[in-house]
Amino acid sequence: MRQLILTASIAAALGIASGCDRSPAPPQASATPAAQPAAAAEQVVDEHSYAEPDKVRTNDLALDLAIDFGKKQIAGTATYSLEWLDKNAAQLVLDTRDLDIRKAEGLNAEGQWTELKFALAEKDPILGTKLTIEAPEHPTQVRVTYATSPEASGLQWLEPSMTEGKKTPFMFSQSQQIHARSWVPLQDTPRIRFTYSAHVTAPADAMVLMSADNDPKAARDGDYSFKMPQKIPSYLLAIAAGDLVFKEIGARSGVWAEPAMVDKATAEFADTEKMIDTAEALYGPYRWGRYDLLVLPPSFPYGGMENPRLTFATPTVIVGDKSLVSLIAHELAHSWSGNLVTFATDKDAWLNEGTTTYVQGRITEALYGQDMADMEHVIDRDELKQEYRTLKPELQRLSLKPGTLSDPDDQSSATVYTKGAWFLQFLEKRFGREVFDPWLKGYFDHFAFQSITTAQFRDYLKTQLIDKHPNVVTMQEVDQWLYEPGIPPNAPVVESGKFSTVNAARIAWMGSAKLPDKTITDAWGTQEWVHFLEGMPDTLAQAQLTQLDEAYRFTGTPNGEIAMRWYPLAERSGYAAARPAMGAFLERVGRRKLIMPTYKALVATPDGLAFAKAVFAKARPGYHPITTGSVEAMIAEAKPMERQEVPEALHPVDPAPQPAPTK
């Protein structure tokens, strides 16, 4: 999943957060990490699932579902083909959240379905409800009849007015991290993988798609069948339905979108086939058949979701200049790191996101050049430094200790994305690409279609890279990256020459009120503008904001990455002229990363809090449940203070630390 989008196109690229200090984060780790257990002795426990996959595992899932837009409900059956590993096990335990469980049945030795006893435990606010099915005879298949709740945390139902075309309702899922259990009862843990098939009925005017073998030529008739032949973890289970049409990009790639969006999306994502070819040249064949993209309404809470064969993408990256298409490089990279080799538990999320961010950077460099890759590394690492100023040390470890996360949605993005990628960049620099690249390709091959832990990664790294090339990297250095907070002092440093120009322009303007020459700023892409804004002090004077806005039209920008930096700065500075466009932006966009910084700035003052509540009341029907929960919590926890007057003239100062964007 990518809420943080860092790659770019030839035109430009976006960036994430930072001031202008480009030095590595200060070391915060101890010199001698504690020894870690070997993978062979490791006991793998998923704290966020009730399932017991050491006793019985789902090998295949067959769904037979009906979509009802009027009821905002999916109803039908889920049938599990099971492998019983413990002969003494008498129960199948599944994860659910707000599901109406109507019946459980088992397939007996005579091939007959017989009813099984089941029980639902008390609901946990994070984990949901444990479903226990009595199955002492170890049936090879169990079938559950159920229906979802209209408030399912993993589904969003949109009225026609909330879509691009304004004529047809829309529904889509978001299963990661543990939201699949809200629309399918299942063993909702990445510890296990399963194949799946589905038969889905829907209104005849709704095209249904899943993270499976979608046929670009499928008839829209309200009756659809799907098959996913490769084994996937539960968080990659995905479904969508609405007024969707297909347009080809290449021989194995294309875009699904609403009719009014499909041409714009296809043009924006035109480099997709080149990205696939580039990734294959680095890390081996793409193993999932097709790679298509589904462009969702702007209420999608994330930048993208790497559902196999069908990446879900936010339309907020479609701005007409390809400057935000890093989303594609990131989600495509998940086809190797995450979808192919998967973290076994949320404690090891960096194995997905950190490795993917590293691979994304290599795709960027290969297609768009070293300068672009360097800018992205600088932006990423500056953001990490800002987040680590306040982040608890226990969340700065790549491999989290048990009990660190109560809710898996609360991972530190800086850690799992940026520190994870930085670690692999450290290994690459030490060993050289001629050694490291074949090792990483071998890693993907060795663990293909498996779910692994950090300890297993560590063992493979030791035996297949470090032991074979002695005196390059020590295991003590490896363990400092994996098990200690902070960034080790030997982390490689990257500089960006292009950002030197941005920094000089900002400093000169702060001191003289003279805007940089238009010939300079006309060449800037999204990354340069993000870096320009991120380096500003915490507040600016009204005259300064007005000057910037008149010159660069930040208020009302269609670029969400710029908006998420400009509107908080405007709000902290009391720049009321931005309020109308700010409100429209918050009502239109539901992507958490883009809107949460602005909500945070608003709730800091009494009048801003009132404005935030009014905007949220209008925006809420179009927000995804995940986004709704985030905004509700921020408003509920707000402690507003009266805004301080901003002086009319500000002297050059070091930028104040900014909160890291929610991703």
Active-site residue set: 331, 417
Let me know: does 342 contact 336? Beta carbons within 8 Å: no
Tokens of 523: 């060449």
**In 10 A of CB 209, how many CB atoms?**
26
Let me know: does 293 contact 255? Beta carbons within 8 Å: yes
DSSP letter (8 states) at residue 61? E
Segment holding 201, helix H or strand E: strand 194-201
**CA atoms of 405 and 205, how far apart (whole Å):** 42
**CA atoms of 553 and 101, how far apart (whole Å):** 53
**Residue corresponding to tokens 């991972």:** 411
**CA atoms of 13 and 360, how far apart (whole Å):** 13
What is the CA 441 to chain-centroid distance, rounded?
A: 23
Q: Is 232 helix (H, G, I), strand (E, B) or coil?
A: strand
**CA atoms of 6 and 375, how far apart (whole Å):** 9
Tokens of 238: 């995905």
Q: E strands within 13-169? A: 56-68, 73-84, 91-96, 100-107, 113-115, 118-120, 129-134, 141-147, 155-158
Let me know: does 598 contact 582? Beta carbons within 8 Å: yes
**Residue corresponding to tokens 């008149």:** 550
Please enumerate in sequence order all residues whose Cβ is within 8 A of that of 441, keeping only pairs 6 or more positions apart, or say none. 282, 283, 284
Give the up-direction half-sphere exposure of residue 25: CA atoms within 13 A in the CB hemisphere: 28
**CA atoms of 368 and 348, how far apart (whole Å):** 31
Tokens of 206: 């709704």
Query: What is the residue-wise DSSP string for 323-392?
Result: TTTHHHHHHHHTTTBTTTEEESSGGGTHHHHHHHHHHHHHHHHHHH-HHHHHHHHHHHHHHHHHHHTTS-
Q: How far, in Å, are 114, 192, 450, 611, 652 from residue 316 at the CA level? A: 49, 33, 33, 23, 33
Let me know: does 486 contact 388? Beta carbons within 8 Å: yes
